[in-house]
């Protein structure tokens, strides 16, 4: 791919593949080579090797291999020219300026370079206004109330746009022509065509591209001015749908930790980053877009979404999740309790509490189930609404194995027959619809086969009936089941030392439960064994654990005191271990 004598060939000759790969993989010298865990497949024993002399890499596990360019292309999900540039930058190799093919292209390149320089000058101007001007005192006081000291102001290059209508314009005119200033997005025009500053009496947040070049600004109003946040418009150097705030500083940490934290606003990014979570980005005041998702995917395909808990934040979360699922991201959702956004939560509860919640953020499917369970699941109509809520998200998961796993978990948590749920999902996908229509088969789904077998065993299994009843009672495995009252009646009879009499027991049951009890009692006789009973009990134990796990997660998200939180996190880990052993 690198032609002899080309810049790419020169970069390949001068590049150190070990240095480049080390930015993505932790390597250890093993003999003449370097080894580490393969970034292209999951493994516990290192099978990924880098040969420093031949300047190649190879994984003896999954078989991938190549040179420094193919490695960067695979890791950053980029094309060859961008990989060449990335390797050159990492190795300190000067990059020649691209030659313009036409006079128009040359002019456009000069304009973009000048606009980048102009934004650098504007950022310096805003910073001086914040730190040195009398008017900036009010802005500094506001930021200090938000917990930002001088070090934080410098770290995030914050500034202040004065209330004067042309202070920045006058400063820029000293270095740049008015026509160029007009195209920068830093100024606006009145009806007479006169230029004036776009940002006035606002705290300024510089927006940089992934290479750290300032290309736009976000401005937060002081006082009651509207809009509360005002961003730069589209310009020759800025497309808001293709930029993530703080990515220039976060990208290395995202690669290192292999996940990103996605928040809503500039102050949220700053608060989370100052809490020690540097792998945080925001979507620059807009809904997450497909180009932004693809950009983030170059650094990691794992993300924790932590938007504000208000209605707008919930809507933004759901829109973002749709895009992330379609791009096959591993998504978790952190919903902070008490109406707090990330910045406020950290100021009130501290960085450690935020990090604990971040580490225990539930997978998106669990978040989805939690929202669906807020509906009334006691009726078929309520379950139908829950299915229609989860349906659009499940349909957007491209991986069939993941969709299948989701269906199993959703069916268990929403107490819907799994075959019915899968068939509903299949039909909706085939008909390209995002909802399930009411069906008689759904309304009359009934209990799971494992429940029916256990009921029959409590009636007929003479050899181990008492042992079975004890197992169910001790762990309350029948609690919350649709068949709970039937189980309870049978358990009471067994515990009294009597053989359960279906006719006598049915007298205390509702019509629905009575009919089910007789259905089970009249099923064809089958030989029962304790091994089969254990298998059926395992189904109930798994459901029991999943239900408790969901409850524990809900309590964690309710922001309990520190001592209770530690107990809940420990219980959550134990439940996950138990669930894994059952699976």
Containing H/E element for 85? helix 80-90
Print the domain residue range for 69.
Answer: 7-90
Are both 177 and 81 inside the same structural domain?
no
Phi, psi angle pair for 265, to nearest 5°: -125, 170
| 99 assigned to some structural domain | no
Where residue 54 sits, what CATH number does that domain have?
A: 3.90.580.10
Cα 216 → chain centroid: 26
| 538 assigned to some structural domain | yes
| 2 assigned to some structural domain | no
Are both 227 and 127 inside the same structural domain?
yes
| 95 assigned to some structural domain | no
- Spatial strand order of the sheet with 214-221 comes to 159-161, 202-208, 214-221, 229-231
Smallest CA-to-CA distance from 555 within 566, 545, 539 is with 566
Where residue 383 sits, what CATH number does that domain have?
A: 1.20.50
The pLDDT of residue 134: 92
Where residue 267 sits, what CATH number does that domain have?
A: 3.40.1360.10
Choosing from 361, 380, 398, the residue where a domain stops is 361
| 336 assigned to some structural domain | yes
- Report the alpha-carbon distance of residue 472 to residue 281 in Å, rounded: 48
Are both 503 and 565 inside the same structural domain?
yes
- Report the alpha-carbon distance of residue 156 to residue 248 in Å, rounded: 11
- Report the alpha-carbon distance of residue 514 to residue 503 in Å, rounded: 9
Are both 347 and 401 inside the same structural domain?
no
| 269 assigned to some structural domain | yes
| 102 assigned to some structural domain | no
- Report the alpha-carbon distance of residue 539 to residue 559 in Å, rounded: 31
- Report the alpha-carbon distance of residue 430 to residue 428 in Å, rounded: 6
The pLDDT of residue 309: 58
Task: Answer whether 0.75 is exceeded by the pTM.
Answer: no
Are both 293 and 215 inside the same structural domain?
no
Helix locations, 445-560, DSSP H: 449-460, 465-475, 484-495, 502-506, 511-521, 530-557
Kindly give the confidence (pLDDT) of every residue in the chain, 583 residues in length, as a single tens digit, with 9 standing for 90 and above: 556 668 888 888 888 999 899 888 889 998 889 999 998 887 888 999 999 988 999 999 998 999 999 999 888 777 888 889 889 888 888 877 666 567 877 788 889 899 999 999 999 999 999 999 999 999 999 999 999 999 999 999 999 999 988 999 999 999 999 999 999 999 999 989 899 999 999 999 999 998 899 999 999 998 778 889 999 999 999 998 889 999 999 998 998 888 999 998 899 999 999 999 999 999 876 678 888 998 888 788 899 999 875 555 566 667 778 889 888 888 999 988 777 889 999 999 999 999 999 998 988 888 888 888 887 776 677 788 888 888 888 887 877 778 888 888 888 778 777 777 777 777 766 665 555 555 444 444 457 788 888 998 998 888 898 999 999 999 888 887 878 899 999 999 999 988 888 888 888 888 888 888 888 888 877 778 898 988 889 888 888 887 787 778 767 866 678 888 888 888 888 888 887 777 5
- Report the alpha-carbon distance of residue 168 to residue 161 in Å, rounded: 8
The pLDDT of residue 443: 40
- Report the alpha-carbon distance of residue 555 to residue 567 in Å, rounded: 11
Are both 227 and 339 inside the same structural domain?
no
Are both 571 and 483 inside the same structural domain?
yes
226 contacts 260 by C-beta, under 8 angstroms: no
97 contacts 7 by C-beta, under 8 angstroms: no
Q: How many domains in the chain? A: 5
| 551 assigned to some structural domain | yes
């Amino acid at each position: 791919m690198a032609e002899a004598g080309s810049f790419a060939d020169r970069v390949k000759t001068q590049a150190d593949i070990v240095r480049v790969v080390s930015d993505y993989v932790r390597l250890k010298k093993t003999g003449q080579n370097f080894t580490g865990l393969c970034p292209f497949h999951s493994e516990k024993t290192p099978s990924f090797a880098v040969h420093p002399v031949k300047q190649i890499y190879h994984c003896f596990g999954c078989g991938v291999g190549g040179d420094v360019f193919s490695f960067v292309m695979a890791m950053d999900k980029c094309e060859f020219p961008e990989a060449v540039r990335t390797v050159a930058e990492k190795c300190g190799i000067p990059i020649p300026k691209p030659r313009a093919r036409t006079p128009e292209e040359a002019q456009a390149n000069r304009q973009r370079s000048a606009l980048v320089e102009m934004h650098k000058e504007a950022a310096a101007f805003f910073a001086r206004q914040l730190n040195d001007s009398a008017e900036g005192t009010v802005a500094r006081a506001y930021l200090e109330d938000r917990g930002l000291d001088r070090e934080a102001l410098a770290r995030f290059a914050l500034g202040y746009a004065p209330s004067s209508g042309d202070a920045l314009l006058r400063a820029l005119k000293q270095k740049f022509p008015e026509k160029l200033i007009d195209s920068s997005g830093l100024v606006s025009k009145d009806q007479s065509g006169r230029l004036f500053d776009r940002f006035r009496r606002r705290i300024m947040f510089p927006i940089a591209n992934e290479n750290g070049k300032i290309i736009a600004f976000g401005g937060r109003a002081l006082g009651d001015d509207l809009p509360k946040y005002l961003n730069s418009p589209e310009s020759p150097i800025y497309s808001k749908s293709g930029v993530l705030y703080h990515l220039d500083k976060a990208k290395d940490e995202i690669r290192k930790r292999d996940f990103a934290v996605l928040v809503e606003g500039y102050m949220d990014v700053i608060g989370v980053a100052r809490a020690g979570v540097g792998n945080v980005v925001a979507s620059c005041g807009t809904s997450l877009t497909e180009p932004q998702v693809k950009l983030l995917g170059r650094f990691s395909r794992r993300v924790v979404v932590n938007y504000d808990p208000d209605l707008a934040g919930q809507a933004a979360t759901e829109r973002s999740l749709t895009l992330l699922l379609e791009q096959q991201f591993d998504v978790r959702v952190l919903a902070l309790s008490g109406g707090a956004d990330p910045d406020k939560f950290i100021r009130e509860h501290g960085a450690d509490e935020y990090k604990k919640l971040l580490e225990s953020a539930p997978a998106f499917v669990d978040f989805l189930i939690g929202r669906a369970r807020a509906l009334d699941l006691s009726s078929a109509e309520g379950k139908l609404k829950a299915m229609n809520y989860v349906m659009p998200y499940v349909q957007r998961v491209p991986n069939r194995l993941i969709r299948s796993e989701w269906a199993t978990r959703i069916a268990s948590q929403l107490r819907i027959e799994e075959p019915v749920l899968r068939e509903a999902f299949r039909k909706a996908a085939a008909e390209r619809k995002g909802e399930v229509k009411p069906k008689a088969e759904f309304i009359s789904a009934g209990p799971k086969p494992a429940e029916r077998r256990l009921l029959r065993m409590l009636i007929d299994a003479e050899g181990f009936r008492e042992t079975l009843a004890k197992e169910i009672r001790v762990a309350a495995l029948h609690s919350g089941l649709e068949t709970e009252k039937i189980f309870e009646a049978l358990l009471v009879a067994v515990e009294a030392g009597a053989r359960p009499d279906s006719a006598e027991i049915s007298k205390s049951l509702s019509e629905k439960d009575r009919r089910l009890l007789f259905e089970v009692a009249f099923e064809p006789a089958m030989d029962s064994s304790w091994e089969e009973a254990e298998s059926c009990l395992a189904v109930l134990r798994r459901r029991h654990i999943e239900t408790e796990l969901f409850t524990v997660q809900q309590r964690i998200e309710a922001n309990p005191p520190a001592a209770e939180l530690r107990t809940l996190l420990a219980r959550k880990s134990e439940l996950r271990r138990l669930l894994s052993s059952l699976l």
